[in-house]
Amino acid sequence: MPAPDREELTGIVLKHQPVGDYDYSVTLLTLESGKRSAFARGARRIGTKLCGAVEPFCFGQFVLTSGRQNDLITQVRIDQYFEGFREDLNGALYGSYLLELADYYAREYNEDAELLRLLYQSLRALLSPALDDRLVRMIYEFRLFMIEGEFAGAAAGGYELSEAASYALGFIQRTPIERLYTFRLSGPVLEELVSLAGETRRRLVDRRLKSLELLERMSDAC
């Protein structure tokens, strides 16, 4: 009998759903083949090898083997759990939004290494106390829309920006992902770009984002 197909993928858990009494259906964003779905058997059972390793935000190496109907996650080595989100509810909500937007844009078996790198660096930035969460979200949104070819700049959309906002948007577009989160903005400029990012998102994203709704509710309550 031939051995099952086996893949080792580097990626991050975007979401999971309970299946049965002890399993999870897991969605990964991977370096090698974009979005992948797989089952993690026994992952909800305390003490098993996959317990705690297929939670959202977990980043590392995932071994997938082919089952009869679905791929199975059989081994995991986590390099980064992003544990800081457990102690920061606001940051966790922003992080969940980043995961959900990545899930919206990522495609099955479509290599999207740039999106994975952007997501990873943006989650790290959210955990930095020196950075405004809204700044991180805005940079992530614009760069993601640019990666996906859906945002060519404010001028292309008929928007007029201040000189400082235009410069910041150009920086977001041309700067390597690893250096994206190396600048700050004054309050008015940040508000200007956050507003434009929101308008752009509403135009491009055609479904409800639950994490964003929670963020907006929290903002209204403050």
Is the pLDDT at 61 greater than 70? The verdict is yes
Task: State pTM to two decimals.
Answer: 0.93
Q: What is the number of alpha carbons within 13 Å of residue 164 lying toward its C-beta?
A: 11
Q: What is the pLDDT of residue 157?
A: 66
Residue ranges per structural domain of the chain: 6-80, 84-221
pLDDT tens string 184-197: 999 999 999 999 99
3 state SS of 69: coil
What CATH code is assigned to 84-221? 1.20.1440
Using alpha carbons, select from 38, 7, 54 the residue that is nearest to residue 108: 38
Distance, in Å, from the CA atom of 39 to the CA atom of 20, rounded to the nearest integer, reads 11
Using alpha carbons, select from 213, 200, 209, 218 the residue that is nearest to residue 100: 209
pLDDT averaged over every residue in the chain = 93
pLDDT tens string 64-77: 998 778 899 999 99
Q: For the domain with range 6-80, which CATH number is right: 1.10.1740.10, 1.10.4080.10, 3.40.50.300, 2.40.50.140?
A: 2.40.50.140
Q: What is the pLDDT of residue 65?
A: 95
Mean local confidence (pLDDT), 35-47: 96
CA quadruple 155, 111, 122, 199: dihedral sign: positive
Q: What is the number of alpha carbons within 13 Å of residue 165 lying toward its C-beta?
A: 20
